[in-house]
């Protein structure tokens, strides 16, 4: 039973320190509270980041976050809240672009369906011819905006400047034109 009393006493003490820090803003109080759980924070960081040096840096950065976040958030259980804060911090660190590992794609290593199977070349040519026929069925505005957007890779603002159409009209013509092209191609494929 002494073990249970010690846990509740610590929890009460944590809440008292949080309340005292919120009232005074004294970093010594926050430091006293944080030192109790620094090993926990370091362990969680090490689990996620898998690097001792980055984990040490994370422990310090999390303390800096506590300076402001403790004043904002209402906390009932400091230890579990700190654990969640630490986990979220580590996950955000892992999501940063510098942690994303990418490799360059080299097309030479891939087998292209088109070059291996001549049927793929013919099918693609048929699709392009069908697309060309369906483009002719669009209204003049839709055809012009679709060609500028997809074939000449112009943005909405550039298309608006070239055609004189309002930006919303450009968007509407492209969306409607794309839908009409899709419908036309699906209908002609079924015929």
| Residues 144, 77 share a domain | no
Lowest mean pLDDT among 14-28, 99-113, 140-154, 165-179: 99-113
Residue 9, pLDDT score: 42
Distance CA 149, CA 174 (A): 8
Distance CA 12, CA 76 (A): 10
Nearest to 149 by CA among 168, 177, 182, 174: 174
| Residues 127, 79 share a domain | no
User: Which has more confidence, 59 or 116?
Assistant: 59
Let me know if residue 143 belongs to a domain: yes
23-69 pLDDT tens trace: 998 889 989 999 999 999 999 999 998 989 999 999 999 999 998 88
- Of the three residues 99, 127, 142, the one that is the final residue of a domain is 99
| Residues 92, 141 share a domain | no
Looking up tokens 């060609």 gives 147
> Would you say residue 107 has pLDDT above 70?
no
| Residues 90, 13 share a domain | yes
Let me know if residue 11 belongs to a domain: yes
| Residues 86, 123 share a domain | no
State the residue range of the domain holding 54: 7-99
Q: Which CATH number characterizes residue 136's domain?
A: 1.10.10.10
């Amino acid at each position: 039973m002494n073990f249970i009393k010690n846990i509740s006493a610590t929890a009460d003490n944590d809440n008292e320190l949080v309340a005292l820090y919120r009232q005074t803003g004294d970093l010594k109080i926050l430091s006293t509270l944080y030192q109790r759980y620094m090993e926990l924070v370091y362990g969680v960081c090490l689990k996620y980041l898998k690097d001792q040096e980055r984990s040490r840096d994370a422990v310090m950065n999390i303390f800096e976050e506590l300076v402001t976040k403790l004043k904002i958030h209402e906390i009932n259980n400091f230890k579990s809240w700190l654990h969640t804060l630490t986990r979220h911090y580590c996950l955000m660190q892992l999501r940063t672009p510098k942690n994303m590992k990418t490799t360059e794609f080299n097309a030479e290593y891939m087998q292209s369906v088109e070059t291996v199977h001549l049927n793929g070349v013919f099918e693609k040519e048929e699709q392009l011819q069908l697309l060309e026929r369906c483009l002719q069925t669009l209204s003049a505005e839709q055809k012009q905006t679709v060609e500028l957007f997809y074939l000449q890779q112009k943005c909405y603002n550039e298309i608006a400047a070239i055609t004189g159409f309002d930006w919303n009209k450009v968007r509407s013509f492209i969306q409607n034109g794309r839908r009409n092209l899709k419908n036309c191609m699906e209908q002609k494929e079924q015929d």
